Amino acid sequence: MFCLVLHSHLPWLPHHGRWPVGEEWLYQSWAASYLPVTEVLRRLADEGRSHLLTLGVTPVLAAQLDDPHSLAGMHHWLGNWQMRAHEAALGGKPDLGVREHRAAAHALDLFENRWRHGGSAVVRELVDADTVELLGGPLAHPFQPLLDARLRAFSLTEGLADARARWGHTPNGIWAPECGYTPGLERLYDRAGVRHFMVDGPSLHGDTALGRPVRESEVVAFGRDLPVSYRVWSPKSGYPGHAAYRDFHTYDHATGLKPSRVTGRTVGSEDKAPYDPALAEAALDKHVADFVDTVRARLRAESDRVGREALVVAAFDTELFGHWWYEGPQWLEKVLRALPEAGIRVGTLDDARRDGFVGDAVELDDSSWGSGKDWRVWAGDQVADIVQLNAEVVGTALDTVDKALDAAPHVRNHVADQILREALLTVSSDWAFMVSKDSAAGYARERAHKHAHATREICDALASGRTDRAHALASGWNQADSLFPGLDARRLPPAQTVNPEITP
């Protein structure tokens, strides 16, 4: 069996800057990836195709796709895209203008007819039709191995509850943020009803031909097959770097549109050749055939190696398809048609687990899918200050919330809710990742410290008895960070109920 897994995630961006890495990041990804990828899946579903892939949508992304501010901003952004296409056509670039105008008009039509009232209905339609298996995850995408055990348990169970509220479906599996793992997480997963989760291939020492129950649990870890996954997305040899595909980095500075093809890896932006859709289409067909051949050969080799039918799991960020790789959604549709035509069974991770593509238990160790496949991206020297910040903020938040709940344990406390909301946003794995990778590091540090400040400010007011001030602060911060309305601090596990073996 072949399983394709897509991980859809962005940090919380509404109300926290617009350009270049604030809301613009959300709208670009929405237009280039989420709109066309779900359109591909819906088109295949309309043909009666099911169990096509496993789709992870993190709670924090789901919140943005349902957020009224984001929906209004996205509608405005799509209209602006169409206007920029007009400017290109009038500014002496008719081919670029016509192509982009056509794409913007199609995106606007999709958005207004399918997405205008939120993304939940779009995702739920695919889940209800068995087009995809849905993977959930913990609230706000924390790097779980470094997170306080109580907040770790709370963020997971609340994340699964958030999925149920949005889509009427509680996921059987999760995409653990950054594929981060530490021994004991499998017990937390088991208690939460999670039956399987993703790890990177090296976590299983490259032996990804079968899912593996983790330690003494029945929770199955599925490993990303790197030889197959890297065939698509590799900095050195992946398909998106082909000369015929649209270049991500080269812009027409007058309109912000992308007029060029890759041309060559060492060719400067000013020397890039114009984008040619016909050349891109020919490259797509070649790469679809290559991928099918790669999967077939890998399945045969792995089946021979393990002496039984094997599994291949290829996993990618959803944003690769369209945002980073313009032709990615077209490639995805062609591959999902070509694999079954070549006699390759396609299924979901849930299918693989239920149909017995599971081997012997494994003693999984500390791991991630980051550099070095360890925790260095989120715990290395370059982010030591963020690790310390996270620990301090979480400690302050939990102490304050505990005291507030002790005073009135049965009453919904919106101040305590907002404290946990801001603490979870502080510990988002994205901030350390962006700093370690030097990708908008200034923005990432600013965001981590802003949410830390919000947490501390509310906690200080509450701890000093200024209850009215605490309520005013919580309400004010909630205007910017209003995600997860179902979050309820009363469900935070008491300290004595958390297994100390999984405390970091």
Active site residue 406: no
* Helices 441-463 and 414-426, axial angle in degrees (round to 10): 150
Helices (H), 111-215: 120-128, 149-167, 185-192
Instruction: Determine the Cα–Cα distance for residues 151 and 156; give it in Å rounded to an integer.
Output: 8
502 neighbors 188 (Cβ within 8 angstroms) = yes
User: What DSSP line would sit under 18-30, residue for residue?
Assistant: -SSSSHHHHHHHI
Asked if the bond preceding 277 is cis, omega within 30° of 0, the reply is: no
Residue partners of 493: CB distance under 8 A and separation at least 6: 150, 153, 154
Q: Which residue among the candidates 24, 317, 366, 385 is catalytic per the annotation?
A: 317
User: What DSSP line would sit under 461-474, residue for residue?
Assistant: HHHTT-HHHHHHHH
Nearest to 138 by CA among 80, 200, 69, 57: 57
Q: Using DSSP bridges, classify how beta strands 220-223 and 212-213 pair: parallel, antiparallel or unpaired.
A: antiparallel
User: What DSSP line would sit under 293-361, residue for residue?
Assistant: HHHHHHHHHHHHHHTS---EEEEEEGGGBTTTBTTHHHHHHHHHHHHHHTT--EE-HHHHHHTT-B-S-
Q: Which residue among the candidates 23, 178, 302, 417 is catalytic per the annotation?
A: 178
Instruction: Determine the Cα–Cα distance for residues 60 and 320; give it in Å rounded to an integer.
Output: 18
Active site residue 317: yes
Catalytic residue annotation: 178, 317
